[in-house]
Amino acid sequence: MASQRLKRTMRGALTASAIITMVSATAAPAIAQPPAQNNESEALQKFRELSAKSELVNEEYNKATDDKAAKQAELDKATSDLAAANQAKTTAAATENQYRGQVESLSFASLRGARFNKLSALLTGTSTQDFLDRSSALGVLAADNAKALSELHNAVTTATEAEARTADAQNRATEARNAASKLQAEINTRRQELHKQIKVAEAEYKKLSQAEKDKLRSGGASADNGQYLGPPGAANTAMQAALSRRGDPYKWSGMSPGAFDCSGLMMWSYGQAGIRLPRSSRAQYTVGRAVSRDALQHGDLLFFGGSAGSIHHVAMYVGDGKMVHAPNTGDVVKVVPLGGGGSDYFGAKRVVG
């Protein structure tokens, strides 16, 4: 009996334990954690985290700059349209006044007796020829009046349309101006946040040993200075331009030889091929056509981030499963395997072809 009670007690305990385990597993979903890097110091790991955060803020700043440029273009067009609409409005008003004057003159002439009907011309005419002459004059007068009325109607319609275009252009200009001002305020906020992140990251970078700085720059491997060739064309020209900047240091908001951030390198490189790209990696993702990872070609842009709205890094495919990019602070433009851009590869775009 005691043995049976003991077995029942043990079964009850095991069942309760299993239930607790199942409830715990259901109530606490697993959260993805970054892979541990036991061979790196705490300072280096902290710097990597700060650098990644700063890169995200940098791309948000670049995106705001892109948006501001787009709104400024809208404002410029709306302002131009407004000037043209005002000119059309002035011209239409002058035309309306011209034909309104003609109609008023013809109406006044009619009131004074200048208008006769053909019966009165027949009764008062002294001869058949006189009748024909008077009838002809009456026909011309009637035609002139009809033409003047038609032109007046057209002028009034044109003036009304010009007025509407002017109002529309004025509204668009006002909206674009307000949006540009709002984006400028956002840019200022992003710039302040970026400068703050830069200072923190730079402070952590100074704490690194020379060996850690060398490891950060090399990625744990020797520099890849090999040649990569694609088919002749704009994509290869852009790729060669990017490869020519190997060794240039990373710099937040950098976009010219000597210092680049990730999207700045892409924009400059394609610029050498005569193709203008937007400033930020998120805006660059809107260019070209999507290509699958197994169909990559030289010059394709590679994007990293959880979604199109959270892209934080961009690189360029150079062939052989490798890419060229500007990684982050303390590093340089270099060629690395595709995984070197991060574990959150999002997609690729082909700019030309």
Please indicate, yes or no, if residue 64 is contained in any of the structural domains. Answer: yes
Please indicate, yes or no, if residue 34 is contained in any of the structural domains. Answer: no
Tokens of 256: 């010219």
* 281 shares a domain with 320: yes
* 195 shares a domain with 48: yes
Please indicate, yes or no, if residue 243 is contained in any of the structural domains. Answer: yes
* 296 shares a domain with 261: yes
Q: What is the mean pLDDT of residues 243-264?
A: 93
Please indicate, yes or no, if residue 215 is contained in any of the structural domains. Answer: no
Give me the pLDDT at residue 177, please: 81
Q: Could you report the per-residue pLDDT of 93-106, keeping only the tens digit for each?
A: 777 677 666 656 65
* 176 shares a domain with 317: no
Please indicate, yes or no, if residue 20 is contained in any of the structural domains. Answer: no
* 236 shares a domain with 202: no
- Closest-CA residue to 251 (of 336, 340, 334, 332): 332
* 185 shares a domain with 70: yes
| Number of domain units in the chain | 2
For residue 336, what is the domain's CATH number? 3.90.1720.10
For residue 150, what is the domain's CATH number? 1.10.287
Q: Could you report the per-residue pLDDT of 295-348, keeping only the tens digit for each?
A: 999 999 999 998 998 899 999 999 999 999 998 888 899 999 998 777 899 999
* 156 shares a domain with 48: yes
Q: Using the predicted structure, report yes or no on whether residue 183 has a pLDDT greater than 80.
A: no
Domain range for 315 is 229-350
Q: What is the mean pLDDT of residues 89-96?
A: 75
Please indicate, yes or no, if residue 316 is contained in any of the structural domains. Answer: yes
* 172 shares a domain with 101: yes
User: Distance between CA 217 and CA 246 in Å, rounded?
Assistant: 12
* 125 shares a domain with 179: yes
